[in-house]
Amino acid sequence: MDKRLGNFLGAATLVLTAVSLWMVFAWVPTEAEQGIVQRIFYFHVPLAWVAFASFAIVAVAGIFYLWLGGQIWDDLGYAAAEIGMLFCTLMMVTGSLWAKPIWGTWWTWDSRLTTSFVLWLLYGGYLIMRAMLEESEQVARFAAVVGIVAALDVPVVIVSVRLWRTIHPAVLVTRQGGHGLEDPRMVVTLLVSITAFTLMFAWLLMTRLAVLRARTRSIELAKAIAMAEFRAGRA
């Protein structure tokens, strides 16, 4: 990872996160119907966006790995899956915290919640498989396929509120009336929060990818040394 770029992303994430926190808790107006609990929205939506973006990267990296076979694509997919799982878990936790005072329950088998839970299970299985099985080309290829197939659930989650009857809100921005972001400050706060979480995601992805790339290089070096010793022994 380029050190200067990493430092820039880390500093930008810190500054923009601080700004977004101030906007969420001190600047943006309180939503009329839901009250202060609605402020979770400014964390819940960015978490969902980053989780979906992470899983999209897993799928793209998997496609390139199956096509080109470069180890960097496997490392990228693995790193994105780990970070996506983190943000997907936080998305579901914040959703439950928001649901309890609004719906009166921590969880309901609503279409969006159910499809999100399936997504979480799929990538949880992906990570368990990567953790339990020894790293090999066969495992990496199978993981790439799993990552691609699992990512197909992302668009299903996104359109679920329109495909099936649901209590999950679908409208986010409205001009007048209805449930949504009626005040321009709400829209600005949401955009700043999304940007802050996106920068955080980019920084975490670069950092984790650098770790995995270092691990890959160390494994390749160990194999090369072992092969050299084997050949020297036979000579």
Q: Taking the domains of the chain in order of start, what are their residue ranges?
A: 3-234
The beta-strand segments (E) located in 36-91 are: none
Q: What is the pLDDT of residue 174?
A: 43
Residue 24 tokens read as 């969420």
Which of the two residues, 196 and 173, has the higher pLDDT score? 196
Quick: pLDDT tens for 4-48: 887 888 889 899 999 999 998 888 887 777 778 888 889 999 999
Integer Cα distance of 146 and 169 in angstroms: 30
**Topology at the third CATH level for domain 3-234:** Four Helix Bundle (Hemerythrin (Met), subunit A) (1.20.120)
Quick: pLDDT tens for 147-156: 999 999 888 8
Q: What percent of the chain has pLDDT over 90?
A: 39
Task: Decide: 64 and 221 in contact? Cβ < 8 Å.
Answer: no
Q: Which residue has the tokens 């802050």?
A: 196
Of 131-140, 165-174, 184-193, the one with minimum mean pLDDT is: 165-174
Integer Cα distance of 50 and 43 in angstroms: 11
Quick: pLDDT tens for 77-110: 999 999 999 999 999 999 888 888 877 887 777 7
